[in-house]
Amino acid sequence: MYQEAADPVIQGLDEPCPSSTCQNHVATTMLTATRQSLSDHTIGKDPQAVRTGQRQNRGMRTRLGCLSHKSDSCNDFTAILPDKPNRALKRLSTEEATRWADSFDSLLSHKYGVAAFRAFLKTEFSEENLEFWLACEEFKKTRSTTKLASKAHRIFEEFIDVQAPREVNIDFQTREVTRNNVQEPSLSCFDQAQGKVHSLMEKDSYPRFLRSKIYTDLLTQTQRRLS
């Protein structure tokens, strides 16, 4: 029977969160080491082992978020805007930014909302969830049957497969269903996995985003522009 290993890196996450003076390279080093440790624990193991590793991975990412040098501010958002920051902030109204709090889908339907949410997820080391969701949306626009298979396999290998470079947090059953779907790809082959990731972000990351400094600073800037 699989038993969780007493990994010193994971044990270290139970210690009090370091102060904001911790350097980013510490977070990067711990993140890499822990991911490798979790991979070692789950490769070739049963589904329960995989799920255990996923839970540890989730906790590790949230815990390491405090080690990041990122400021969790509006500056993180403007740095990745699709337009020039000053121009974008002038175009974004308080009414538009406020509507992002109406529903998660309202946020995802606005390009600046997506940019702000991506910046927030980067502070939690979980931006792969949004990137996967966006990749699925783009995939569903594919009209060439010859490109469908190659795109499907690329998305699976990047986000779904065990030890994928940007592996998303889904259950074993959903991963296997998606693996089978990709063998005979259709525009709906990622629907189950995409739905799981959407639900995870909506219930977990989205409420924290609405309380984040990135979002509150952004609202303040748009309101200040009107005064």
| Alpha-carbon span 31 to 54, nearest angstrom | 14
**What does the pLDDT read at residue 222?**
85
pLDDT of 126 > 90? The answer is: yes
- Contact by Cβ (8 Å): 119, 110: no
Q: Could you give the count of Cα atoms lying within 13 Å of 226 in the half-sphere of its Cβ?
A: 9
Report CA torsion sign: 120, 32, 29, 4: positive
Amino acid (1-letter code) at residue 61: R
| Alpha-carbon span 30 to 185, nearest angstrom | 37
DSSP 201: I
pLDDT tens digits, residue range 131-169? 999 999 999 999 998 899 999 999 999 999 999 999 999
Q: What's the rounded mean pLDDT across residues 76-80?
A: 54
Residue 79 or 132, more confident? 132
- Contact by Cβ (8 Å): 110, 100: yes
Residues 6+ apart with CB under 8 A from 202: 104
Give the confidence band of 76 by pLDDT, cuts at 50, 70, 90. Answer: low
181: its two tokens = 């779907």
189: its two tokens = 């082959």
* Nearest Cα to Cα of residue 114 among 91, 66, 85, 80: 80
| Alpha-carbon span 173 to 177, nearest angstrom | 6
Burial class (CB in 10 A: 0-12, 13-18, 19+), 209: buried
What percent of the chain is modeled with pLDDT above 70? Answer: 59
**What does the pLDDT read at residue 74?**
55
Question: Which stretches of the chain are DSSP H helices?
Answer: 8-12, 24-42, 47-64, 74-78, 85-91, 94-99, 104-108, 111-123, 127-139, 145-155, 172-183, 191-200, 206-211, 213-226
* Nearest Cα to Cα of residue 65 among 132, 127, 122: 122
| Alpha-carbon span 141 to 219, nearest angstrom | 33
Query: Model's pTM, two decimal places?
Result: 0.67
DSSP 161: S
In the three-class reduction of DSSP (H, G, I as helix; E, B as strand; rest coil), residue 167 is classed as coil
